[in-house]
A and B are shown apart, each in its own frame.
Chain A
Amino acid sequence: MNTHYEKSLQLFDRASKVAPGGIYGHMSPAACLPGASPYYAVRGEGCRYWDVDGHEYIDFMCGYGPVILGYNHPEVDEAAAKQRELGNCFNHPTERFVELVERLVSLVDFADWGVLAKNGGDVTTWAIQVAREHTKRKKIIRLKGSYHGVDPWCTPGHGGLIEEDREHIHHFAWNDLTAFQGLVERYRGEIAGLIISPWHHPVFADSDFGAPGFLIGLERICRAEGIVLISDDIRGGFRLNIGGSHEEFGYTPDIVCFCKALGNGYPISAALGTDALRVAASKVFLTGSYWNSAVPMAAALKTLEILERDNVIAKIKQTGQRLSDGLVKIGEKHGHSIKPSGPPSVPFYRLTEEKNFLRQQQWCAEAMQRGAFLHPHHNWFICAAHTDADIDAGLQIADDALAACVKQWD
């Protein structure tokens, strides 16, 4: 193992004695670069963070998405601190709840109501229940390779599942409208909901936009068949369009789910829906010990305010494009094609010469060792704190890392 990450490994050793897997879920070392990446963070600031071994990273993952304005954003933290002084967890929601739902409903074009929770999976799972309640149907259609959380109907894991968990969950491939039509014909009158992402962002594969007519085609079929269309905008929400990524891609869902960027790191998620689903939504029980916590709501209100005030979405698109252009040039310089895919502010990069990610893993490991956190398998995230200078510094590291790899490969 790499001594560069000695303290990370020591902590992991301690953790694995008391926690199954040591670190679980998407942050497990097994999902990134075991032994060749940091395992534990200490602090962050702007677009940078420091690990337990004292290494500084220009971060291109932003906490896997939640950090859109930068770590420890002073205005967001101040809003959160102000609310914390008043209190966080009560017997009731606070006015922040009403303010935030009102704000979200005003931002999302089709929305008439909203609910708040903590994580993305809270609201995607709740949304499919609302679809079932509204339609009195059982089946849910989703896309192959999509991610919607860790509940039994959708978890990418395989432990603890029984066949009945997914008896009524069916898949089709991204951009295969005919396959969706086929499912609809096969299960006509049985399909409660279709859950999609605004663009396809699987791990270990290029991101993919909807082909012309695909997303609107899905919407049209859903309307004709009485199927509730759910847009899982957990990953892209507020990075592409303040009103939801569906606006960017030209379709209108019945429910949209947000999380990640909504609170700039404070735990909060939301689902917003149409008036037609209001009664069904009122019948599907939702709650959690901390779902009404006021501090994350105050943070979310401030985050939304800054996103609009500072024109953050346009800025991170531009920043992401600078990164993309730079990486493509670096690839060309070293004779290795680096392919960008997905939106510039939520991009995925891949060395096109291989499909097994071995070189990609080496390249990202070299970059991490030099101070840029580049994920080899998952899409990256750009935040407002990335300046042109940060991007250029990140590109220099990516360049040096690839040069070191090429020496080994050639």
Chain B
Amino acid sequence: MKSTALQHIQTRLFLHAVLPTLDAVIKASPKAQALLKDNHFSVCFKTRSGLSASYFFTTGGCEYIPGGSTSAGIELLFLTDGQAAATFLEQKTFPPLPTKGFSALGKMKTFVALTLEMQAWLKPDAAKLAGEQFRQIFVPMTLGLALRAVAQLCRSERRFREQLAAGPQGLAAFQLGKDGEPVWLRLVTNELTCGQGEPADTPDVRVIFHDSVLAAEALQDKADALTAVGNGAIEVLGLVPLADHLNAMMERVQGYIDPPAKQ
């Protein structure tokens, strides 16, 4: 893939899949909530290639609005997708141009602190992962990110679109525990939507992780999922190939937002 195409996709993923995770992070993290105490703000990221997303931060969470919002307090423009991708991947680059909210730019320090807190949640150390309470938040948070990313990739990347067209389609729901709140993705050509909570329609496949340790391992690609299905730790009900198909796509997401270092 040409690097410009890759950078476009990476930027899209960060804007529409990774950064929306801040909502769950703020809801779960007292540290994030403290950062936002009496410090509400909003920011809109735009690229010259036409990508944009806005985020409105309060102590209650982060409202993500796809596309630019005129009511965002700060507006930052990336001149190239490469610049945006490098910024989000924390690589060396020059900063985006502020086009609105010069006086509020100091709030971006809070934004950076929030993204660091998000990283701590998404890439936890072993000690954090050992906590049941942490895993109960980590699993749906990570699943939500992965599903949003798959939907974005199916919209924007040729190979994903081909994969989507070639495989089973339908509504897939994932949840931690029998009564856990599902995250879901409707994987149907021209209708790629995802969300949290019980979907309006009956899912074509429902994947239930009965064990949070295993679920966390599975999301980090550290679990033998076949064994887990066989011994009942993961229950897959319904259209199994849809879950398998989706899993294959989710595994590819990592390569975009956390690319392996070149030797």
Q: Which of A28, A204, A377 contacts B230 (CB 8 A)?
A: A28
Does B133 lie at the interface of the complex (its beta carbon under 8 Å from any beta carbon of A)?
no
Assembled-state Cα–Cα distance A46/B239 (Å): 32
Contact B226 A356, beta carbon cutoff 8 Å = no
Distance in angstroms between the alpha carbons of A31 and B204 in the assembled complex = 16
Whether B232 lies near A28 (C-beta < 8 A) is no
A286 to chain B, nearest CB (A): 30
- Which residues from B are CB-within-8-Å of A39? 230
Do A356 and B239 touch across chains, with their CB atoms under 8 A apart?
Answer: yes
CB–CB A356/B205 < 8 A: yes
Known contacts: A9-B231, A16-B231, A34-B232. The answer to whether A204 contacts B226 by CB under 8 A is: no
Q: Which of B212-236 contact A (CB under 8 A)?
A: 224-227, 229-232, 235-236
Residue among A21, A31, A158, A358 making CB contact with B227, cutoff 8 Å: A21
Query: Are A31 and B240 in contact, with the CB atoms below 8 A?
Result: yes
The answer to whether B230 touches A30, judged by C-beta atoms less than 8 angstroms apart, is yes
**Residues of chain B lying within 8 A (CB to CB) of residue A24:** 226
Q: Which residues of A contact B170 (CB under 8 A)?
A: 355-356
State which residues 128-175 of B face A: CB under 8 Å: 159, 166, 168, 170
CA distance in complex: A357, B204 (Å): 8
The reply to whether the CB of B203 lies closer than 8 angstroms to some CB of chain A is: yes
Question: A16 — which chain B residues lie within 8 A by C-beta?
Answer: 224, 227, 230-231
**Chain A, 375-389, contact with B by CB distance < 8 Å: what is the 0/1 string?**
001000000000000
Tell me if B237 counts as interface (CB < 8 A to partner A).
Answer: yes
Decide if A1 is an interface residue (CB 8 Å cutoff).
yes
State whether A377 touches B224 (Cβ < 8 A): no
Instruction: Count contacts on B: residues with CB < 8 A to the other chain.
Output: 26
Bound complex: CA of A144 vs CA of B231, how far in Å? 31
Closest to A2 in B: B232
Q: In the complex, how many angstroms separate the beta carbon of A33 from the nearest chain B beta carbon? A: 10
For residue A152, CB closer than 8 A to chain B, the reply is no
B237 and A358 within 8 A (CB): yes
Q: Does A250 contact B (CB under 8 A)?
A: no
Report the Cα distance A20→B239, complex, angstroms. Answer: 23
Q: How far is the CA of A357 from the CA of B239 in the complex (A)?
A: 6
Selected from A1, A163, A355, the residue in CB contact (under 8 A) with B231 is A1
A22 CB–B CB distance under 8 Å: yes
Q: Across the interface, do A171 and B202 meet the contact criterion of CB distance under 8 Å?
A: no
Residues of A close to B235: CB separation below 8 A: 34
- Nearest CB in chain A to that of B168: its residue: A204
Is B251 in contact with chain A by the CB < 8 A criterion?
Answer: yes
- Binary contact track A1-34/B, C-beta < 8 Å → 1, others 0: 1000000010011001000111110001111001
Of the candidates A9, A29, A158, A171, which one forms a contact with B229 in the assembled complex, judged by CB atoms under 8 Å apart?
Answer: A29
Q: Chain A CB within 10 Å — which of B170, B229, B240, B248 has the most?
A: B240
A357 to B230, CA, bound (A): 18
Residue A361 at the chain B interface, CB threshold 8 Å: yes
| A12 x B241 contact (CB < 8 A) | no
Does A79 reach chain B (CB closer than 8 Å)? no
A163 proximity list for chain B (CB < 8 A): 159
A12-B231, A34-B230 known; A158 and B240 CB under 8 Å?
Answer: no
Decide if A203 is an interface residue (CB 8 Å cutoff).
yes
Q: Is the CB of A204 within 8 A of B239?
A: yes
**Which B residues lie within 8 Å of A22 (CB)?**
224, 226-227, 230-231
Closest to A358 in B: B238
How far in angstroms is the closest Cβ of chain B from A157? 9
Please, how many angstroms separate the alpha-carbon atoms of A22 and B223 in the complex? 13
**Complex: how many Å from CA A1 to CA B229?**
11
Question: Is the CB–CB distance between A20 and B231 below 8 Å?
Answer: no
B contact residues around A355 at 8 Å (CB): 170, 204, 239
Given contacts A203-B241, A361-B237, A361-B238, contact A30 B226 (CB under 8 A): yes
Interchain CB contact under 8 A, A204 and B204 = no
A residues near B204, Cβ cutoff 8 Å: 355-356
Q: Which residue of A lies closest to B241 (CB)?
A: A204
Q: Which residue of chain A is the closest to B165 with respect to CB atoms?
A: A144
Instruction: Report Cα–Cα, A39/B229, bound state, in Å.
Output: 13
What string of 1s and 0s marks CB contacts (under 8 Å) between A29-67 and chain B?
Answer: 111001100010000000000000000000000000000
How far, in Å, is B62 (CB) from chain A's closest CB? 33
For the complex, what is the distance from the CA of A144 to the CA of B245, rounded to whole Å?
A: 14
Distance of A24 Cα from B232 Cα, bound (Å): 16
Q: Encode contact with A along B186-210: 1 for CB under 8 Å, 0 otherwise.
A: 0000000000000000111100000
Q: Which residues of A contact B229 (CB under 8 A)?
A: 28-30, 34
- If A16-B227, A356-B170 touch, whether A30 touches B232 (CB-CB below 8 Å) is no
A63 to B125, CA, bound (A): 46
State the Cβ distance, A260 to closest chain B Cβ, in Å: 22
CA distance A48 to B251 in the complex (A): 41
Chain B residues with CB under 8 A of A9: 231
- Given A31-B240, A204-B239, A357-B239: A12 touches B166 (CB 8 Å cut-off): no
Q: A34-B229, A158-B248 are in contact. Are A356 and B238 (CB under 8 A)?
A: yes
A35 near B239: Cβ-Cβ < 8 Å: no
Contacts of A361 in B (CB 8 A): 237-238
> Cβ of A158: which chain B residues have Cβ within 8 Å of it?
244, 248, 251
For B224, give its contact among A20, A204, A356 (CB under 8 Å): A20
B227 nearest in chain A by CB position: A16
Residues in A with CB closer than 8 Å to B230 are 12, 16, 21-23, 28-30, 34-35, 39
Chain B residues near A358 (CB, 8 Å)? 237-238
Known: A22-B230, A163-B159, A361-B237. 8 other contacts (CB 8 A): A1-B231, A21-B227, A28-B226, A30-B229, A30-B230, A34-B229, A35-B230, A355-B204
29 contacts between A and B (CB under 8 A): A1-B231, A1-B232, A12-B230, A13-B231, A16-B231, A20-B224, A21-B224, A22-B230, A23-B230, A30-B226, A30-B230, A31-B240, A34-B229, A35-B231, A158-B244, A163-B159, A171-B166, A204-B168, A204-B239, A204-B240, A355-B170, A356-B202, A356-B203, A356-B205, A356-B238, A357-B239, A357-B240, A361-B237, A361-B238
When A and B form their complex, which 10 residue pairs have the shortest distance between CB atoms, in order from nearest?
A: A21-B226, A158-B248, A30-B229, A16-B227, A356-B238, A29-B230, A356-B204, A1-B232, A22-B227, A35-B232
